[in-house]
């Protein structure tokens, strides 16, 4: 059944959307709100607190590695779920979401362009928010410098990109369109969701990621391809995670957000 045919039936996917989001990034948004509330009600200002991404889970190196790999694996299960749900409705991840390798040069070119266009302004926005006291200091990696830290950070970056772009862009926008929602509200819902599960970092992160969400949603509505968004998101996170892990501490102090 095509998207137009499903729109004509007037079918609502709201229950399915709610379940999928509560199992994935909607759940993350709830925890992010609680985390931000805890920071705002703490004894010190938000800008003096930290938000650590990719934290160490165990002081035992190989147990920590096991936890990290398992975390990446299970975080991708919602992606498998939404692809299954879409294929059940005779939709194709390649044809309808652009999740395939048919256009590598196009995907890579747009991915790099989006990463550059969003990454630099995003850093300036987070820095400004920190100076205004409305964002926590972001620590992109809390891993110890084990031999496996960089490969795990790269995998974590790709996992973040696949999960967020498939669920928040490809799946959510497709289902909302099938439910007959207007394009303006579809973009708003996707962007606000993206911003909300970054609230644990502060208000600057919310605004920056919401703007990114608007750009990515409009790009998908125009091109029907998620792959360039996965490329762009992966590049942004790999740069942040691995760069933080490998840069000398003196540089990190100077570049500290």
Tens of pLDDT, residue by residue over 80-101, are 999 999 999 999 999 999 999 9
**Is there a domain that residue 49 lies in?**
yes
**Is there a domain that residue 234 lies in?**
yes
- The radius of gyration of the chain from alpha carbons, rounded to an integer in Å, stands at 19
**Is there a domain that residue 1 lies in?**
no
**Is there a domain that residue 78 lies in?**
yes
**Is there a domain that residue 204 lies in?**
yes
What tens digit of pLDDT does each residue of 135-185 get? 999 999 999 999 999 999 999 999 999 999 999 999 999 999 999 999 999
Could you give the number of structural domains in the chain?
Answer: 1
**Is there a domain that residue 152 lies in?**
yes
pLDDT of residue 257: 44
Q: Which domain holds residue 190?
A: 10-255
**Is there a domain that residue 63 lies in?**
yes
**Is there a domain that residue 2 lies in?**
no
């Amino acid at each position: 059944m095509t998207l137009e045919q499903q729109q004509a039936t007037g079918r609502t996917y709201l229950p399915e959307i709610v379940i999928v989001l509560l199992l994935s990034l909607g759940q993350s948004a709830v925890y992010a709100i609680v985390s931000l509330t805890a920071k705002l009600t703490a004894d010190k200002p938000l800008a003096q607190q930290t938000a650590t991404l990719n934290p160490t889970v165990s002081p035992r190196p190989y147990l920590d590695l096991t936890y990290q790999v398992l975390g990446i694996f299970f975080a991708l299960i919602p992606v498998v779920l939404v692809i299954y749900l879409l294929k059940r409705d005779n939709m194709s991840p390649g044809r309808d979401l652009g999740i395939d390798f048919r256009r590598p040069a196009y995907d890579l070119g747009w991915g790099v362009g989006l990463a550059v266009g969003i990454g630099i302004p995003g850093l300036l926005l987070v820095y400004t928010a920190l100076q205004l006291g409305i964002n926590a200091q972001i620590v992109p990696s809390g891993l110890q410098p084990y031999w496996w830290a960089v490969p795990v950070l790269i995998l974590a970056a790709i996992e973040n990109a696949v999960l967020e772009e498939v669920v928040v862009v490809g799946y959510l926008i497709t289902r909302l369109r099938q439910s007959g929602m207007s394009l303006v509200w579809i973009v708003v819902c996707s962007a606000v969701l993206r911003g909300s599960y970054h609230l644990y970092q502060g208000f600057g992160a919310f605004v920056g990621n919401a703007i990114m969400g608007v750009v990515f949603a409009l790009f998908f509505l125009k091109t029907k391809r998620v792959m360039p968004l996965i490329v762009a998101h992966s590049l942004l996170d790999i740069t942040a995670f691995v760069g933080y892990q490998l840069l000398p501490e003196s540089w990190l102090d100077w570049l500290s957000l």
